[in-house]
Amino acid sequence: MQELDPTILQKANSWLQGNYDADVKQEIQKLIDDKAYTELTDSFYRDLEFGTGGLRGIMGPGSNRINKYTIGAATQGLANYLKKTYPGEKIKVAIAHDSRNNADFFSTITAEVFSANDIYVYFFKALRPTPELSFAVRHLGCKSGVMLTASHNPKEYNGYKAYGADGGQFVSPHDKAVMDEVAAISSIDDIKFNRVDANIEEIGEDIDELYLSKITELSVSPDAIARQKDLKIVYSPIHGTGITLVPQALKRFGFENVILVDEQITPDGNFPTVVYPNPEEKEALTLALKKAKETDADLVLATDPDADRVGIAVKNTDGEFILLNGNQTGAMLINYLLTAWEEKGKLTGKEYIVKTIVTTNLIERIAEAKNVTYYNTLTGFKYIGELMTHFEGKQTFIGGGEESYGYLIGELVRDKDAVVSSAFIAEMTAYYKDKGSSLFEALIDTYVQYGFYKEKLISLTKKGKTGAEEIKEMMEKFRTNPPATLGGSKVSTLKDYEKRIETDLATNTSKPIELPVSDVLQFITEDGSIISARPSGTEPKIKFYCSVNGKLESKETYSETDKNLDAKIASIMQDLGV
């Protein structure tokens, strides 16, 4: 039988003896009585920390779980940080939540703790998308904001995204400062839970109206939409917040034929029709694809529970629906935006786009061809937001995104935005249809013009304390003993973002990486393949991003070239032992 680490029992006992609710104590005592030591260990072996996406975890009792007290401690720590950062000022924050179980309860707890700390709260009275929260922070002049969501995680999860005054998630050194304040909450008695009604104001429809009207102003091809207004679009919010704004955004852009997936339009934290509410997973789009086939749709859109990510499906040349991955959609959006801006004479030389280091380099090739500046950031949209804030008023952000299905067009928010992205994916589809093409054919044309870039993401799940240790060991092994060849091509460059060093392995010379520290390794081969290894900041996973490329001679050779690139990816993954 597994032994229980005494420090775990000591931590559990501190909750049993503390000023916690009786039902929480009862759950903890039951774990002890039932000798459920694995679950008890996972519940208490650490305190939840802010990762690339803030605070996220499984709901339940314990310091490593999402519950009233970890949410309360995070909020009290954030309140303390804000009061130290803005002394003597009247501090305002905005709070929203998605459709997850308990999200409304946790958002209320968050509002109550802020209000008890004499911080004024703008409280969305019903569920709303994450990007609207970012918009509200900026529009209402808040110093911070909180979104209660676990994005696309399974139903057992919930989370807490903390935002700064620019509407972006906290970045260094502020994220560390908030973490330090949260860590300084040594007792439940340090948390002020007593609500002050005068400090809480409900918001909703007024912000919706402003946000939607400003999104609509961003449209680049309204003339193409007017001619293609009957474009058939199937949309699913996958039981999430997208239903509140995405259909409205599509309507305002001018689309009159939006077909909803009825079985998935009701917000529900149990996500009853899917295994995972993640538009990256084909299974999550099953019902949407069925509806698309029934209605002979042009486009399928599906957003995750907090509507910051969007997955799409389009028809191939055989009339079959295929899913585009995040790299393909992101590259197509950038190509469309830069082309449309160019055609309208809007490119002045001051525009830029942004992607992350694990997102397809096809985007770089397109930007170079259009003579538009591009930047790379670390993984996590908060870094894109940080760059946008840095350039605000000096350069114009056209768009950007990351391979994990998150994109942003325009400068209204500082986070990935599936509301504006859905509208622009529809606009892009209308633009190409207006030219007698389809989104799939436009993708193949892009490959012929700039090179066929193909990416694949492999995620290995390693749960709990032992899983975290395994992931650490894997990264250490790759660091100390990097592969010499991958997919039959010599590894020429090693980029270690934790050490912030790029090494040319042929000459054994190094140069610094001008990005913040992050636990990421990249292997670049002589033939231009890029393989990135990165532990997730929000999930118990290690992720391997593989990007290969080749020349696509013509549309006719697409299938053959596609198979060759697939084989190359398989060979690389075999070499890595993944």
What residues are labeled active site?
Answer: 151
Sequence-ordered list of residues with C-beta below 8 angstroms from that of 320, at least 6 positions apart, any chain: none
With 0-12 CB in 10 A as exposed, 13-18 as middle and 19+ as buried, what is 87? exposed
Rounded Cα gap, residues 126 and 535, in angstroms:
34
Phi, psi (degrees; rounded to nearest 5) at 441: -65, -35
Q: How far is CA 439 from CA 255, 298, 560, in A?
A: 17, 9, 20
The answer to whether the Cα torsion of 72, 77, 78, 79 is positive or negative is: positive
Q: How far is CA 283 from CA 272, 277, 290, 300, in A?
A: 13, 9, 11, 14
Q: Which helix (H) or strand (E) holds 289?
A: helix 286-295
Q: How far is CA 276 from CA 129, 238, 240, 394, in A?
A: 18, 9, 12, 41
Look-up: residue for tokens 């803005």?
Answer: 86
Rounded Cα gap, residues 240 and 303, in angstroms:
8
Rounded Cα gap, residues 566 and 548, in angstroms:
9
The terminus-to-terminus CA distance of the chain in angstroms comes to 32
| DSSP tag of 380 | S
Q: Tally the residues of the chain.
A: 578
To 10 degrees, the CA torsion angle through 441, 444, 448, 450?
110
Q: What is the 3-state secondary structure (H, E, C) of 450-463?
A: HCEEEEEEEEEECC
**Which residue type is seen at 54?**
G
Grouping H, G, I as helix, E, B as strand and the rest as coil, residue 460 is strand
Nearest to 448 by CA among 366, 387, 378: 366
Q: Which helix (H) or strand (E) holds 465?
A: helix 464-480
**Alpha-helix runs per DSSP H in 268-380:** 286-295, 326-343, 362-369
Q: Rg of the chain over CA atoms, in angstroms?
A: 24
To 10 degrees, the CA torsion angle through 119, 120, 126, 129?
-80
**Which residue type is seen at 261?**
V
Look-up: residue for tokens 């190359």?
Answer: 568
| DSSP tag of 64 | T
Grouping H, G, I as helix, E, B as strand and the rest as coil, residue 474 is helix
To 10 degrees, the CA torsion angle through 122, 123, 129, 130?
60
